[in-house]
Amino acid sequence: MSRLRHYACGSTTHDIGAMFRGEQRVVREFPSGVFLYDSDDGRRVLFDTGYVTGEWHTGWRGAAYRRLLPPRVTDADDIAAQLRADGVDPATVTHVVLSHLHPDHVGGIRRFPGATFVLTEGVLRTLAHPRLRSGVLPGLFPGWFASASRTVIADSMFRVTDVRGVEVRAVDLFDDGSYLVVDLPGHADGHVGALIDGSVLLAGDAAWGADLLDATARLRPLPRAVQHDADDYVRTAALLARLAAVGIRIVCSHDPLVSRELLP
């Protein structure tokens, strides 16, 4: 039996009314989700890695980021610590898929030196030229990351794929349909999600929440301005809404989830 488990690795808080036009002014907590997929045949695939714990060592860029999106993170939020507490040796993780490179998604990379990292061409473009506007803090990446084992997904590798009548652009990571890396452009260059066992779509930061897909088109100017491509971001939210309508469970990285197990 395959399994998909969720771990919240730190969180941040935002006022929904300050982010979207037409929403109530309610401060909501946004946990940073990390997702572990265990396949039938022994692969262990992590989707994102959560916030970095401890000191960031990221200088003024890090200070600017933290002022805009103040993180709440303790040592207990570390993904490696949470996996161990759940009976999973972090060294047994075979692959780490990164949706994109923002600090709340890459903090735990340093815990997986033996894994193969699955990275898109767009993510590598960003890594090669990190700018403050792209929200990437080079200080968060361990020195060995540049030479880590990797699978690179080129832009040209995405194939139009039918998911219950909805067309998505996807790469079948293991050629068995269990793990589709799905192109979800807009939030960051090369941003991707993952469709697991044809039923659960890990959507990364394609939207602020599965319940906020409709609100995405009402994003206020500042949160809109920090998207890599705001028009693509709105189109991607509409795609997610169509997938939800045909019964795909959409799980955004910052959704609060009740249950750790995400597959039936």
C-alpha span between 30 and 32 (Å, rounded): 7
The least distance separating Zn ion from the CB of residue 99, rounded to whole angstroms, comes to: 8
Distance between CA 189 and CA 195 in Å, rounded? 19
At 65, is the secondary structure helix, strand, or coil? helix
Nearer to Zn ion, 172 or 229 (CB): 229
- Please identify, using beta-carbon distances, which residue of 168 and 203 lies nearer to Zn ion: 203
CB of 43: closest distance to Zn ion in angstroms? Answer: 26
Contact 15, 23 (CB under 8 A): no
189 vs 205, which CB is nearer to Zn ion? Answer: 205
Q: How far is the CB of 102 from Zn ion (least distance, A)?
A: 3
Task: Describe the strand order of the beta sheet including 179-183 as a list of residue ranges.
Answer: 159-163, 166-172, 179-183, 192-196, 200-204, 249-252
Considering the complex, state which of residue 123 and residue 171 has its C-beta at the smaller distance from Zn ion: 123
> Distances from the Cα of 263 to the Cαs of 31, 39, 80, 109, 242, in angstroms?
20, 12, 22, 25, 20
Compute the least distance from the CB of residue 253 to Zn ion, in Å.
8
Distance between first and last Cα of the chain: 10
As measured in angstroms, the least distance from the Cβ of 30 to Zn ion is 11
User: Which is nearer to Zn ion, 61 or 102 (by Cβ)?
Assistant: 102
Chain residues binding Zn ion by CB under 5 A are 102, 205
Q: Is the dihedral of CA 224, 226, 229, 233 positive or negative?
A: negative
